[in-house]
C-alpha cells in the first residue's frame, strides 16, 4: 500500500515542479531572488556561495511544498537541524512516510550537458543501521520512498562590485547570481552514481549528466532500489577498508563481488 502511495506522491510532486520553476525564474529567465533586505530597506545582494543559494531556494519553495501537502492531505515534518535527513518528511493518512531532500547544483560551462555532482546523503550511519535515529527524523526503514527535488541552474557572470549594498529603490539594478533554473523530482536511487560524492566524504554521489538526472536513468535505475541499497550498504572507501583491499569501486565490480559471496 505504501509503495503505491509513494508513486502517487512522486507524480504529484512532478506536477508541482512547473509551479516551483515559475516562482524561482523571473520572466527574463533570471532568478527572482536578488538579495537580503534589512529594516533600513537596504538590499545586500546575494553572492555565488552555493550553500547560500541552496538555503535561499529552500526558503522560497518551502511554503509551496507545505501548501501542496495541505492540499493533498499530507502531514509534513521539517528537519530540525541542517545535518538531518530528510529535509521534509511527508506522512499520509495511512501513516506511510516519505522522504524528500532538496538538492541544488549548477551547470558546468566547460562540460556541456553536465552539472556539478550532488551528494545524496550518507552511505554510513542511519543508511546502514536502519533502526538508528541519529541525524534522521525517523529510522530509514520506516520510509516507503526516498525522493530528491533537484534544482539545476546556471551561474551568472557577476563582478564583485555588484555585491555592494544598495537602497531598495535601486532593486531593478541588482543582477541575479543564477539563471535558467530547472526543477525535477525523482527517486533517489534512480539518479545515484556508483561513486561517492566529491572529496573524502562518505556520501552517495549523483550522476552528472543532466539528461540522466531529468530522466532518472542513473546506473541503478535498471537494477532497482534493492541493488542500490545493497551496493551502498557494503561500499567501502580506502580509509574504511583499513589497509585491506576494497571489495569494489563500481557497479560492475560489485556484481562480481556479489556473485563470489
Which residues carry out catalysis? 87, 101, 103
Q: Is residue 181 within 8 Å of 25, Cβ to Cβ? A: yes
Handedness of CA 220, 223, 228, 234 (dihedral sign): negative
How far, in Å, are 68, 78, 82, 87, 111 from residue 147 at the CA level? 16, 15, 18, 10, 26
| Residue keyed to cell 527524523 | 137
- Phi, psi (degrees; rounded to nearest 5) at 234: -110, -5
Amino acid at each position: 500500500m505504501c509503495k503505491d502511495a509513494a508513486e502517487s506522491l512522486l507524480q504529484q510532486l512532478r506536477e508541482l515542479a512547473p509551479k516551483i520553476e515559475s516562482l524561482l525564474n523571473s520572466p527574463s529567465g533570471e532568478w527572482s531572488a536578488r538579495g537580503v533586505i534589512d529594516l533600513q530597506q537596504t538590499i545586500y545582494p546575494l553572492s555565488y556561495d552555493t550553500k547560500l543559494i541552496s538555503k535561499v531556494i529552500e526558503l522560497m519553495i518551502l511554503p509551496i511544498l507545505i501548501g501542496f501537502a495541505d492540499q493533498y492531505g499530507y502531514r509534513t515534518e521539517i528537519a530540525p537541524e541542517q545535518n538531518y535527513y530528510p529535509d521534509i518528511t511527508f506522512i499520509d493518512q495511512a501513516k506511510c512516510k516519505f522522504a524528500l531532500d532538496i538538492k541544488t547544483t549548477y551547470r558546468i560551462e566547460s562540460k556541456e550537458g553536465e552539472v556539478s555532482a550532488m551528494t545524496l546523503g550518507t552511505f554510513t550511519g542511519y543508511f546502514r543501521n536502519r533502526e538508528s535515529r541519529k541525524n534522521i527524523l525517523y529510522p530509514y526503514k520506516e520510509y516507503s520512498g526516498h525522493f530528491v527535488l533537484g534544482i539545476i541552474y546556471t551561474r551568472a557572470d557577476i563582478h564583485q562590485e555588484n555585491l555592494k549594498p544598495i537602497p531598495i529603490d535601486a532593486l531593478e539594478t541588482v543582477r541575479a547570481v543564477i539563471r535558467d533554473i530547472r526543477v525535477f523530482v525523482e527517486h533517489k536511487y534512480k539518479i545515484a552514481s556508483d561513486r561517492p560524492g566529491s572529496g573524502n566524504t562518505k556520501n552517495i554521489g549523483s550522476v552528472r549528466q543532466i539528461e540522466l538526472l531529468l530522466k532518472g536513468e542513473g546506473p541503478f535505475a535498471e537494477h532497482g532500489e534493492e541493488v542500490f541499497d545493497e551496493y551502498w550498504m557494503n561500499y567501502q572507501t580506502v580509509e574504511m577498508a583499513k589497509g585491506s583491499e576494497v571489495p569494489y569501486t563500481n557497479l560492475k565490480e560489485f556484481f562480481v563481488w556479489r556473485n563470489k559471496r
